[in-house]
Chains A and B, each alone.
Chain A
Amino acid sequence: DGGITQSPKYLFRKEGQNVTLSCEQNLNHDAMYWYRQDPGQGLRLIYYSQIVNDFQKGDIAEGYSVSREKKESFPLTVTSAQKNPTAFYLCASSRPGGTAFEEPQHFGDGTRLSIL
């Protein structure tokens, strides 16, 4: 079955440590996204990528980094510069905008990151 796989489901970070969240999709989607969700709040866009080897900052990119070396993969690194990383992180993918058929974003099951 096609879908988006995020791993791990739970992740703990020590002070001063970088951690990387994995996101893999087999939907053959060009566009991929990372969102952050805080308790009782909506989703905020961290980074997005419309095509391989290209990505753009979202609304809250500070303290995060991404890469897009393969179409299927869009890992997110939470760096030590992110002072409040505790949140639920969601990855999504979609066909790019401007296509004849507008396909919505599909989401993975999320990674919950906590500080030790």
Chain B
Amino acid sequence: GEDVEQSLFLSVREGDSSVINCTYTDSSSTYLYWYKQEPGAGLQLLTYIFSNMDMKQDQRLTVLLNKKDKHLSLRIADTQTGDSAIYFCAIKAAGNKLTFGGGTRVLVKP
């Protein structure tokens, strides 16, 4: 089955850019998603990219997809304290099932 890996933790200073990385194994992936989870809450969809795209930009968020290396990243420009949360990448392959990474906890320091 699909395996999705993320680094556990990222610390960044307020105003800097954050880059969260994700690697996956299934080359038949169709859609790739980034979700944000704040403490005690559900998952909020941030953005997603279709597998035939290399990049997608949405305000402060930039998603980069390298299909050859099966690598997905999320860049957050001008990171704010409100961006402190856990970020999950999720990969959709065959069917409508998602496989989630373990999440990256982002801590924004003032």
A interface residues, Cβ below 8 angstroms from B: 4, 6, 31, 35, 40-45, 48, 50, 58, 90, 92, 94, 96-97, 102, 104-110, 112
Contact = CB atoms under 8 A, between A and B. Distances in A.
**What is the interface of chain A mostly: helix, strand, loop, or mixed?**
strand
**What is the interface of chain B mostly: helix, strand, loop, or mixed?**
strand
A31 B96 contact: yes
Contact of A107 (B8, B43, B101, B103): B43
29 contacts: A31-B96, A35-B100, A40-B8, A41-B103, A42-B88, A42-B101, A43-B43, A43-B88, A43-B100, A45-B97, A45-B98, A50-B96, A58-B97, A96-B96, A97-B95, A102-B30, A102-B31, A102-B50, A102-B92, A104-B33, A104-B48, A105-B45, A106-B45, A107-B35, A107-B42, A107-B43, A108-B42, A109-B42, A110-B40
A96 to B, nearest CB: 6
A50 B97 CA distance: 10
Interface residues of B, number: 24
Contact of A41 (B4, B30, B102): B102
Contacts of A110: 40-42
A96 B41 CA distance: 24
A40 B101 CA distance: 11
B44 interface: yes
Interface in B3-35: 4, 8, 30-31, 33, 35
Contacts of B31: 102, 104
Given A43-B100, A102-B30, 13 more contacts: A6-B42, A31-B96, A43-B43, A44-B100, A48-B96, A90-B43, A92-B43, A97-B96, A102-B31, A102-B92, A105-B98, A107-B35, A110-B42
Contacts of B102: 40-42
Contacts of B44: 107
Nearest to B101: A42
A94 B95 CA distance: 12
Interface in B50-81: 50
A23 to B, nearest CB: 11
A43 B96 CA distance: 15
